[in-house]
């Protein structure tokens, strides 16, 4: 290595050193510390005591833990695929060349910009059992709406419905992807007498499949880590019907001061997300089309 190359390397490392220090202090150290604490009894107020796999064994006998796992997967199984289907459909509709289409695109995107707390308060009002907008609209149709967030059987469906409010960011991504689909493919399909369904199935969806895959992975990560909205709106109730995994993790770490137990939960969640991501990647290989690949 020449003197000039050594000097360039030195200055390069000097410029990136703040980022490297931040990475080591605020990312790598907390990750490694949480891994160590997951094998300890650690109440934050005292020194951690190594107990091996004790926290992990306790988790597998914790009925509340398994309830939070089931609630989280219940939410993810419905919210994620339905959210992708709705966002793809809206994106396809918003590609139609009609007057004022840019206004419609803006309207669908704006809700995703709302702060989480404001969004939760808004939906608390919408789902109010006595004075809510949703029940008022249902009453005009002769339907008596439930007390959405106070009834065990309706609280989770209400949160799933609320999740569709924020699909605007996915719609924008799909819109950008749809602009790259060659129009000659549609024209050739029309000459062959293909219907809109055949064009969507055999042209549109394959061509945007890499973007669908990207949103699927991000959706898996996001839905399994949902926290703010249910924490504000239901607090895990009624009867723990909306107690999600991350909410129980938070309670253990910061309410019950069982930081070792919470760290074990965090690493189990990491493993679950990693495995689901690998499975989705493996399954999607035969369905994703990369142009020129």
* 3 state DSSP class of 163: helix
| More confident: 213 or 287 | 213
pLDDT level of residue 224 (50, 70, 90 thresholds):
very high
Q: Which of 256, 259, 255 shows the shortest CA–CA distance to 41?
A: 259
pLDDT level of residue 283 (50, 70, 90 thresholds):
confident
Q: What is the pLDDT of residue 292?
A: 55
What's the average model confidence in pLDDT over 57-64? Answer: 95
Q: What is the dihedral of CA 145, 148, 152, 158, to 10 degrees?
A: 110
Indicate whether 290 pLDDT > 80: no
Say if 236 falls within a structural domain. Answer: yes
Strands of the chain, DSSP E: 40-41, 49-50
Say if 40 falls within a structural domain. Answer: no
Q: What's the whole-model pTM score? A: 0.91
Say if 195 falls within a structural domain. Answer: yes
What's the average model confidence in pLDDT over 250-277? Answer: 96
pLDDT level of residue 220 (50, 70, 90 thresholds):
very high
Q: What is the pLDDT of residue 139?
A: 92
What's the average model confidence in pLDDT over 174-185? Answer: 89
Say if 37 falls within a structural domain. Answer: no
Say if 5 falls within a structural domain. Answer: no
119-171 pLDDT tens trace: 899 999 999 988 899 999 999 999 999 999 999 999 999 999 999 988 988 99
**Rounded to whole angstroms, how far apart are CA atoms 91 and 200?**
12
99-119 pLDDT tens trace: 888 898 888 888 888 888 898
State which of 175-179, 180-184, 266-270 shows the largest mean pLDDT: 266-270
Q: What is the pLDDT of residue 166?
A: 85
In percent, the amount of the chain with pLDDT more than 70 equals 99
Say if 235 falls within a structural domain. Answer: yes
Helix, strand, coil percentages (3-state) for the chain, rounded to 5, are: 75, 0, 25
Where residue 239 sits, what CATH number does that domain have? 1.10.3720.10
Say if 24 falls within a structural domain. Answer: no
* Domain extent at residue 184: 63-284
Q: What is the pLDDT of residue 87?
A: 94
What's the average model confidence in pLDDT over 78-94? Answer: 94
The residues, any chain, with a CB within 8 Å of residue 155's CB and separated by 6 or more, are 148, 149, 234, 237, 238, 241, 242
What's the average model confidence in pLDDT over 72-79? Answer: 96
Q: What is the pLDDT of residue 33?
A: 95
* 3 state DSSP class of 55: helix
Q: What is the pLDDT of residue 192?
A: 86
How many separate domains does the chain show?
Answer: 1
Q: What is the dihedral of CA 135, 141, 143, 148, to 10 degrees?
A: -20
Say if 22 falls within a structural domain. Answer: no
């Amino acid at each position: 290595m020449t003197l000039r190359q050594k000097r360039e390397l030195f200055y390069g490392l000097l410029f990136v050193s703040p980022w490297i220090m931040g990475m080591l202090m605020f990312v790598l150290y907390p990750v490694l510390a949480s891994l160590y604490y997951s094998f300890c009894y650690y109440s934050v107020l005292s020194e951690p005591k190594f107990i091996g796999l004790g926290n992990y064994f306790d988790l597998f006998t914790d009925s509340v833990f398994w309830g939070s796992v089931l609630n989280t997967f219940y939410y993810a199984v419905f919210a994620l695929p339905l959210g992708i289907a709705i966002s793809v459909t809206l994106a396809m509709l918003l590609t139609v060349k009609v007057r004022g289409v840019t206004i419609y695109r803006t309207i669908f995107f704006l809700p995703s910009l709302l702060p989480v707390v404001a969004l939760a308060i808004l939906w608390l009002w919408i789902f109010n059992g006595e004075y809510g907008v949703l029940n008022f609209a249902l009453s005009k149709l002769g339907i008596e709406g439930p007390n959405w967030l106070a009834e065990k059987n309706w609280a989770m469906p209400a949160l799933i419905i609320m999740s569709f409010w924020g699909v605007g960011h996915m719609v924008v991504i799909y819109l950008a992807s749809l602009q790259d689909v060659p129009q000659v493919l549609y024209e050739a399909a029309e000459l062959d007498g293909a219907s809109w369904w055949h064009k969507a199935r055999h042209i549109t969806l394959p061509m945007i499949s890499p973007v669908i895959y990207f949103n699927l992975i991000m959706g898996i990560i996001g839905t399994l880590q949902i926290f703010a909205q249910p924490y504000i709106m239901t607090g895990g109730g009624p009867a723990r019907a909306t107690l999600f995994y991350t909410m129980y993790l938070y309670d253990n770490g910061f309410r019950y001061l069982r930081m070792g137990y919470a760290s074990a939960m965090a690493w189990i969640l990491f493993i679950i997300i990693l495995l689901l991501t690998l499975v989705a990647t493996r399954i999607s290989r035969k369905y994703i089309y990369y142009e020129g690949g």
